[in-house]
DNA sequence: CATGAATGAGCATTCATTCAT
DNA sequence: CATGAATGAATGCTCATTCAT
């Protein structure tokens, strides 16, 4: 993780990895079929973990839709903050990777957008959210989350306590509702 | 540009570049110090071009602040849409590049955020925008623009006419104002 | 044997051997000093076995010299046909092996040639064989046997019953005597 | 050639080759696609060259069939003697090579055998050669030539002038005719 | 100015061998 | 005795860079 996050897929060499892990060259290939294999394994696990944090908003639940959305963001932010290196990979390694990985990434983001979009549409339907173009709004929301994570957890440019961050984002998105 | 955008910095080889440009190997090194040098030059020019599209919001101008913001977004989107390949690099190649380039990128995004932030703060001050945490909001806005560009101009997942896109984003950001 | 014959010395890996033998890696090195050691042992045993099949032609024996030669060829062919894999090694792995093995091989073939040569010379002496250059003739005979074995037992290009084969060769060598 | 002949295909490394040729690693790959490519190229050229030395025996020619055969052997021996290293490869590298090369080798030897066989059959037909099993005889002849070459040109065990060698072989094969 | 053959450091990967359990 | 995880030297190959023409 550390190596891939620091140097990206291409520049992270097996030599870096085994030096960081303090194991021999052969040992690496005892546990991973190839350099690509370890990257896929790391990325897959992280995508699954992140995906598991996000639940579809249930309008029949006792918890209010807004609180459900907040909980989704909260859990996702937690998961990402725990492994900022992986988030860096997830947000930046879309270029120059093999087609399989690229489509895995595309699928992941597609799923994310469609979840967010359906949440927005339900919100509009139930009058919680003002009428907006849900396609654009979902895109905006995803980009917002990615950028906030990048600036706080990855780059460290923006230093804000997590709870304030979530409240701030909820406020911006849902107009202080 | 074509090569870097298509394959990313690492996978784009000097061989690709000289083949695409139909020049000899030596000729390449006559005009660029290194592979990294041409990349830096391309990136720098694009960053300057984008930066030039964004004007600070002038409250004394005859044009309303909102329209100035809209014009900023419009021009930026135009500049990006003209060179989607470069945008792809700008948005995705933050990992695995040398420290110098990474800090150039960091600086560029920092400048962007501070411009957006000051615009938001003025907007709040003049009652155009509802009171929000400007640091978070600037971050949200930047991420939103990046993601919208990525999904429309780069990935092509989201097919929306540019004017509708801007209106949609203005609507989302400024509450239908 | 199976591994070395199937893939040759270099391409046959210790992994192949221990898998085929269904033993652990360490166990292999308990019984053989090295990969080369097991190869040497196999080759040595086979060379000894083949050598044991060949008796010097005894002119005082009741059995005719020609029949003694025939019996030599018969026994040798039998020994080889029983282990075609080893014959393949013996006939083809002369290149790329260490000097020690190469000289062992050279010595084996040297012994074979001198046995054949002395048999030919006795045959000429006793008027059984027409006068020929015994050095060349011995070489011709050895090469003939090697090639016949290769084409029948190893490559399977030439499909001939063993007894016909021997008769055919005797006929060619000893002029229908 | 030198490297492949000395160490065989597998043990001859690209490092050996470039050291022997006194060129850089990259230069090697400028002229050959891979290690396998250079081997194939060497082998193919030699096979073609050898094949070119052998003419079908023409019964209508003014030159006697026996002299034609002698000329064939003469030319072939010359071609081989000029490049003993290549002959070593040709005669010994049947094991452990890729299927393509193996079948190329098999085809070459098959062609050789069928040429020899048809020559023998014509010889029998025209009463020059005593009636023999042509399949076995062709095999015997090929093996004889290979072994004679190995012992004289490659191993140097048998030191005989080329003309004596050919006469000796003709004598053995064609009964002093 | 332009060329492209030559370079060699660096890469991912393999595999014979060792040794603590 | 048997095991198999760990090792690291060696391999085939790539590619950014140089320099004589």
- Is the pLDDT at A67 greater than 90? The verdict is no
Least confident of C17-26, C57-66, C108-117: C57-66
What mean pLDDT do residues A46-56 have? 91
**Total count of residues recorded for chain C:** 177
**How far apart (Å, rounded) are the C-alpha atoms in residues D22 and D17?**
8
Q: Is there contact between B25 and strand F, defined as CB under 7 Å from any strand atom?
A: yes
CB spacing of B147 vs A146 below 8 angstroms: yes
- Is the pLDDT at A55 greater than 60? The verdict is yes
Nearest to D72 by CA among D63, D84, D82: D63
Query: Of the candidates A8, A144, A171, which has its C-beta nearest B144's C-beta?
Result: A144
- Is the pLDDT at A96 greater than 80? The verdict is no
**How far apart (Å, rounded) are the C-alpha atoms in residues B77 and C15?**
59
What mean pLDDT do residues A33-49 have? 94
Instruction: Give the distance, in angstroms, between the CA of residue A142 and the centroid of all CA atoms in the same chain.
Output: 9
Residues of chain C above pLDDT 70, percent: 97
**Total count of residues recorded for chain A:** 177
- For chain D, counts of helices (H) and of strands (E): 9, 0
Q: Are B72 and B142 in contact (CB under 8 A)?
A: no
What mean pLDDT do residues C86-115 have? 83
C148 class by beta-carbon count within 10 Å (0-12 exposed, 13-18 middle, 19+ buried): buried
- Is the pLDDT at D88 greater than 90? The verdict is no
Mean pLDDT computed over every residue of chain C: 88
A28 CA – E12 C1', rounded, Å: 12
The predicted structure's pLDDT at residue D171: 84
Q: Is there contact between B26 and strand E, defined as CB under 7 Å from any strand atom?
A: yes
> Which tokens hold the place of C27?
């166990």
The predicted structure's pLDDT at residue C175: 67
> Which tokens hold the place of C148?
């016949």
H, E, C per residue of chain B: CHHHHHHHHHHCCHHHHHHHHCCCHHHHHHHCCCHHHHHHHHHHHHHHHHHHHCCCCCCCCCCCHHHHHHHHHHHHHHHHHHCHHHHHHHHHCCCCCCHHHHHHHHHHHHHHHHHHHHHHHHHHHCCCCCCCCHHHHHHHHHHHHHHHHHHHHHCCCCCCCHHHHHHHHHHHHCCCC
- Is the pLDDT at C158 greater than 70? The verdict is yes
With bands split at pLDDT 50, 70 and 90, how would you rate the model's confidence at D175? low
CB spacing of B147 vs A139 below 8 angstroms: yes
Q: Are D4 and D39 in contact (CB under 8 A)?
A: yes
Q: Are C4 and C87 in contact (CB under 8 A)?
A: no
Query: Of the candidates C89, C96, C135, which has its C-beta nearest D7's C-beta?
Result: C96
Pick out the nucleotide with least CA–C1' distance to C28.
F2
Q: For chain D, what is the radius of gyration of the CA atoms?
A: 18
Give C110-170 as a DSSP string.
Answer: HHHHHHHHHHHHHHHHTTSS----HHHHHHHHHHHHHHHHIIIIIS--S---HHHHHHHHH
What mean pLDDT do residues C4-11 have? 86
Cα–Cα distance list, D112 to B123, C6, D107, D118, D168 (Å): 92, 25, 9, 10, 21
Spatial neighbors of D146 by CB under 8 A, at least 6 apart, are: C143, C146, C147, D91
Q: Are C85 and C2 in contact (CB under 8 A)?
A: yes
> Which tokens hold the place of D90?
């040709």
**How far apart (Å, rounded) are the C-alpha atoms in residues C100 and A55?**
71
Cα–Cα distance list, B39 to B12, B36, B127, B172 (Å): 10, 5, 43, 36
Cα–Cα distance list, C86 to A152, C9, C45 (Å): 69, 11, 10
* C60: closest CA of chain D, how far (Å): 27
Query: Of the candidates A92, A113, A136, which has its C-beta nearest B95's C-beta?
Result: A92
Model confidence pLDDT, tens digit, residues D19-62: 999 999 999 999 999 999 999 999 999 999 999 998 888 888 89
What mean pLDDT do residues C114-118 have? 89
Q: Is there contact between B26 and strand F, defined as CB under 7 Å from any strand atom?
A: yes
- Is the pLDDT at A176 greater than 70? The verdict is no
Cα–Cα distance list, A120 to A59, A113, A173, C18, C107 (Å): 12, 10, 10, 61, 87
The predicted structure's pLDDT at residue B177: 43
Q: Is there contact between D23 and strand E, defined as CB under 7 Å from any strand atom?
A: yes
- Is the pLDDT at C73 greater than 70? The verdict is yes
* pLDDT tens over chain B, length 177 residues: 889 888 888 889 999 999 999 999 999 999 999 999 999 999 999 999 999 998 888 888 898 888 888 898 899 989 988 888 888 888 877 667 777 888 888 888 898 899 889 888 888 888 888 888 999 999 999 999 999 988 888 888 888 888 888 888 888 877 644
The predicted structure's pLDDT at residue B31: 96
- Is the pLDDT at A43 greater than 60? The verdict is yes
**How far apart (Å, rounded) are the C-alpha atoms in residues C1 and B77?**
70
DSSP three-state, residue D56:
coil
Spatial neighbors of B26 by CB under 8 A, at least 6 apart, are: none
Mean pLDDT computed over every residue of chain D: 88
Q: Are C18 and C27 in contact (CB under 8 A)?
A: yes
The predicted structure's pLDDT at residue A28: 97
- Greatest mean pLDDT among A19-23, A157-161, D2-6, D72-76 lies in A19-23
The predicted structure's pLDDT at residue D126: 83
**How far apart (Å, rounded) are the C-alpha atoms in residues C124 and D94?**
36
The Cβ of residue D33 has, within 10 Å, a number of other Cβ atoms equal to 10
- Is the pLDDT at C111 greater than 70? The verdict is yes
Place of tokens 């992986």: A86
**How far apart (Å, rounded) are the C-alpha atoms in residues C153 and D132?**
21
What mean pLDDT do residues C152-173 have? 86
Q: Is D40 left (phi over 0), alpha (psi -120 to 50) or beta?
A: alpha
Q: Are D149 and D53 in contact (CB under 8 A)?
A: no
The predicted structure's pLDDT at residue D64: 85
> Which tokens hold the place of C4?
């070395």
Pick out the nucleotide with least CA–C1' distance to B18.
E4
A132 class by beta-carbon count within 10 Å (0-12 exposed, 13-18 middle, 19+ buried): buried
The predicted structure's pLDDT at residue D122: 86
* Chain A residues closer than 8 Å to B130 by CB: 175-176
Query: Of the candidates A10, A151, A175, which has its C-beta nearest B10's C-beta?
Result: A10
- Is the pLDDT at D139 greater than 90? The verdict is yes
Model confidence pLDDT, tens digit, residues D95-109: 677 888 888 888 899
**How far apart (Å, rounded) are the C-alpha atoms in residues D156 and A13?**
50
Q: Is there contact between C26 and strand F, defined as CB under 7 Å from any strand atom?
A: yes
CB spacing of B139 vs A158 below 8 angstroms: yes
* Chain C residues closer than 8 Å to D132 by CB: 168, 171-172
CB spacing of A95 vs B92 below 8 angstroms: yes
The predicted structure's pLDDT at residue A175: 67
The predicted structure's pLDDT at residue C176: 47
């Amino acid at each position: 993780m550390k190596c891939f996050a620091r140097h990206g897929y291409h520049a992270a060499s097996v030599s870096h990895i085994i030096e960081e892990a303090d194991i021999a060259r052969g040992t690496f290939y005892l546990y991973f079929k190839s350099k690509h294999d370890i990257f896929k394994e790391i990325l897959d696990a992280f995508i699954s973990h992140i995906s598991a944090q996000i639940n579809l908003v249930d309008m029949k639940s006792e918890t209010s839709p807004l609180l459900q959305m907040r909980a989704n963001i909260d859990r996702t932010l937690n998961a990402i903050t725990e492994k900022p290196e992986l988030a860096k990979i997830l947000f930046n390694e879309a270029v120059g990777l093999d087609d399989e990985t690229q489509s895995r990434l595309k699928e992941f983001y597609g799923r994310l957008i469609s979840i967010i979009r359906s949440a927005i549409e339900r919100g509009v339907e139930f009058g919680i959210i003002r009428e907006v173009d849900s396609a654009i709004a979902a895109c905006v929301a995803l980009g917002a989350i990615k950028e906030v994570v990048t600036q706080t957890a990855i780059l460290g440019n923006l230093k804000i306590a997590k709870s304030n961050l979530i409240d701030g984002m909820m406020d911006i998105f849902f107009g202080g509702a």
